Structure 1
């Protein structure tokens, strides 16, 4: 006999003992009700997955909807397949099994193909923008304007610094719409959280009377757009990125708040030897550092003449003897104006420290990073012992540098007057095609366009020396500046030109960044620079402080086609005349620019308008330099 028969007879006997007359049909009926068929393991797993899919995904068929006509059985039907709702899982969750979507049976690869088929195809412009975004993110990844100590210990500041300055009550009580109207009136674009209100008068900024008189003596009667919004933000202790065209008054936006911060600290607790500075200004070139030092020292002297405490300013740059400033170092400087190389050397020698430094200003910040001072700046920041206010300013601030700086600033305020990298509208730009052999002769004709003083820019030192000697032979009072000259020669040339003792200054790009020549009327580019940012800085030496100026640029076949395309779009943006030689250059990005909303979309790496970041010559040059440096290191280390 098989086991099943034994079980049936035992159950029958038990039924007979209990009930006495229980029939065989009743016994088998009870067996059918208790019987649970075996469901294979893989089918039970499939049922569980279907129930999970029914809970996570939206059911295709509502629960209880008997559209199949199978009384709530599973979609596949059959007692052996789904248990027909009679098992522990099937009977209790028959409705959920019915509601399970058919999508769960489709393989993932088929789902992906289906999504792609129904997805709206991207245009060439959208694909290009996505690629550019990836490249820009790759360039900014891993770079932060923070010290090595802060990165190692994961130190992050979440709150901006607090100061005692507050705007007047009537300005604080103005509605947000009124502040927005002021910004719109002066074409000020801002980004950030809790932006301080713009103030259109120096008197309402609560400055000492001595500062008013000093500014008035220099012909500064009312703030410029960058000062209207930048000064309140700096006075309030906010980190800031200031972007405005050359000659717009950016220097005052960071020197004046720094002087006021040092004055307040000195009045509360005077500095003694071994202390200081309270604030620091970094500049990319010696000429700019000297000019910033003169501006800052003049304000401190004006305050001292009015009876305020004396503020000591230290100039720290290469080419000068620090022995002359030993007295300032011994007493403790309030403000340090420096170039990165010499400052790093002084800090490592412990001539002074940054324990009490509360403010760091970087003038021409993007050029400083591009010139290879990035590691020096990060090393300098490692000497800070606490949080500091960081102010970054430039006329050309590409997105790459902005993203790089925003990584370390605390709730920064971005103040932008005009497009970053745009040329000043007060400069009349003239572009002329001149053959290489005729440039020197034609230069004499261009010098007669306006009265002196005139600046002439050349790309390399040899051209500067050749132009200088040629103009001397022609009887013109001329001086020259380039990196190969001693610091005394460079300072003598700049001073002679500013004082009117020389009519023409011939220089390389060391004199193109931030230098202020109030009376200059004409700038001549003897050759087109390799980067459009250098062109913007060069022509910015004229047309400053609301005055108009002229910029003449020589181009020929030696100029790269890429930089000429950038020049063409820059002229169009400034509504200047575009010569036929530039109009004849074919633009490969013309088709792409026709498909985007803003045709004047600049390169995120160098702010050039004539190319995209995928064809950026500056990015390509940087990558070649990095590759060459990597190969040099490998060869030096013996890996090849």
Structure 2
């Protein structure tokens, strides 16, 4: 009896203690008003919720640490010898005196005016005109001929940082003028080198620009060439530029190298080939710009980039640019930089606000027919994106049969066809360009009025790049996206929150989509996923990370199988 009584007493004490720990004393408390009790319960619920979010953040931090265990983005020799550069490269450029005298607070107010966010120590002041950046008159005149009279926000802060010799990560929405941030300073550095000591045969390059696609590399090469020709016409020394891409004659590239070259623009495959065969040397190269850097890493060029770094013989100024660069990629990329400056205009991965985004539910079998109706929304030029090469070819054939002046581009076409398609579309000889994502990254089509996504890409970053082909240089553009039941729910959730962020109209079928907990999407100092940048999920639910890990596991299994097979033989 006594044992039973003690047991009941202990049980009662345990229950009371539990209730007190939960903040819920079940006994009525006449000394405290019901309103105060309600407020106490509400505070306790919020505390429990915070604890849940803290656990979530710890779990995410653990995931980030696990996927961050890769080698730094540095040359193998530098890693092996423990070489670490502490100081940025020095240049002869200085900002105007009145800007140098500005306090840090005054500089921050200027940046705030242009919505520029900077990270890093001793960041040079923003400079609001090309004249104050000290570019030659021929460069300024060439810019005016292209309709560029004032620098954009990314150029206001980015160009001074690069001219000052700082390593940099540049993030800004598509069509914001990132290309000029790394091309104009490089031209000035090359001009300074050629003026001081002219380049001789087989010497160079001084600067290297890496791009993920041939089309983007050619576009960048043409941009540099235009400015170099303007300088030469004005009496300055000739700055020689070389295009190093697959699909064109290696002889043409080696001949350019023999004459001595100041600037090389390259894609990873051909660049690696030329370095391996010793047709190209980076012995005196001191400037490296990587355009669409996050896409290069995502596309599997990480090891190629690290190998390219091993060909440098001394410290280089390294610049990384993209419109979509999740924090995870930024942190990893910083391993290649010395005292880096991060210049960010808007959220990394945000859509261009000059693009009106329309999302329409179209059944799979009705899409190709509905395209004709969709093309009536605007006049040409129009850009159509599809995921698969077969879809690109089918759409191209269908539009030609309907009398539409169209060209197509994808990775399966030869270089001559690809160049013809891009050139004829840019020169307005053709009204419609149908393409895979090979045309989505960095390519500049200034007058595109309408982008049609024949299907929703599997990655929200690709969506941002695609729609960024319109609404460029301050113009307004339209983007129409077809979705249906075949679209991934994860990417549709990302799309929904991207549209909300850009204050765009939400279609009814996206309104019905709901994340498990919307409050869960914004906790800590991150919004959405810190791995891929999607706003509709967190890293614990990231399909892109899951796919990457699956590929790694499959790759390990394949290697083991091949190794065992070799051993059997």
**TM-score normalised to structure 1 length:** 0.80
1:482/1:510 contact within 8 Å kept = yes
- 2:216 paired with 1:288: yes
Tell me by how many angstroms 1:597 deviates: 6.6
Counterpart residue number, 2:540: 614
- Work out the CA distance in 1 between the residues paired with 2:550 and 2:226: 44
State which structure, 1 or 2, has the greater radius of gyration over its C-alpha atoms.
1
Tell me by how many angstroms 1:130 deviates: 1.4
- Work out the CA distance in 2 between the residues paired with 1:391 and 1:366: 12
CA-based RMSD of the aligned residues comes to: 1.5
Tell me by how many angstroms 1:450 deviates: 0.4
- Work out the CA distance in 2 between the residues paired with 1:157 and 1:150: 10
Unaligned runs of 5+ in 1: 1-115
1:139/1:400 contact within 8 Å kept = no
Counterpart residue number, 1:520: 448
User: Relative to structure 1, is the Cα distance of residues 449 and 191 closer, same or farther in structure 2, using a 3 angstrom cutoff?
Assistant: same
- Work out the CA distance in 1 between the residues paired with 2:445 and 2:308: 31
Tell me by how many angstroms 1:591 deviates: 4.5
- 2:181 paired with 1:253: yes
2:203/2:257 contact within 8 Å kept = no
- Work out the CA distance in 2 between the residues paired with 1:161 and 1:602: 36
2:521/2:538 contact within 8 Å kept = no
Counterpart residue number, 1:557: 485
Encode CA deviations 1:551-609: one digit per residue, 9 max, x unaligned: 00000000011110000000000000011101111211325247x377x7121111000
- 2:434 paired with 1:506: yes
- Work out the CA distance in 1 between the residues paired with 2:434 and 2:314: 44
Counterpart residue number, 2:419: 491
Unaligned runs of 5+ in 2: 1-20, 23-46
Counterpart residue number, 2:321: 393
Encode CA deviations 1:405-454: one digit per residue, 9 max, x unaligned: 11221110000000000000000000000011111111101101001000
Encode CA deviations 1:522-562: one digit per residue, 9 max, x unaligned: 00000000000000000000000100000000000000111
Counterpart residue number, 2:295: 367
Counterpart residue number, 2:51: 123
Tell me by how many angstroms 1:326 deviates: 4.0
Counterpart residue number, 1:309: 237
Counterpart residue number, 1:65: none
Encode CA deviations 1:191-210: one digit per residue, 9 max, x unaligned: 00000000001110111111
Instruction: Identify which of structures 1 and 2 has the higher relative contact order when contacts are C-alpha pairs closer than 8 Å and 6+ apart.
Output: 2
Superposed counterparts of 1:152-191, under 5 Å = 152-191=80-119
Encode CA deviations 1:241-279: one digit per residue, 9 max, x unaligned: 000000000000000011111000000001111211010
- Work out the CA distance in 2 between the residues paired with 1:485 and 1:519: 25
2:502 to 562, 571, 574: 574
Aligned residues: 521
1:275/1:352 contact within 8 Å kept = no
| Runs of 4+ deviating beyond 3 Å | none
1:133 to 54, 61, 66: 61
Tell me by how many angstroms 1:325 deviates: 3.6
- Work out the CA distance in 2 between the residues paired with 1:169 and 1:141: 45
1:589/1:611 contact within 8 Å kept = no
Counterpart residue number, 1:465: 393
Superposed counterparts of 1:580-591, under 5 Å = 580-591=508-519
- Work out the CA distance in 1 between the residues paired with 2:175 and 2:464: 11
Counterpart residue number, 1:623: 549
Tell me by how many angstroms 1:352 deviates: 2.1
- Work out the CA distance in 2 between the residues paired with 1:238 and 1:586: 44
Counterpart residue number, 2:44: none
2:159 to 214, 224, 231: 231
2:311 to 383, 401, 407: 383
Tell me by how many angstroms 1:186 deviates: 0.4
Counterpart residue number, 2:25: none
Is the partner of 1:448 in helix, strand or coil?
helix
- Work out the CA distance in 2 between the residues paired with 1:585 and 1:431: 14
2:204/2:285 contact within 8 Å kept = yes
Counterpart residue number, 2:201: 273
**TM-score normalised to structure 2 length:** 0.90
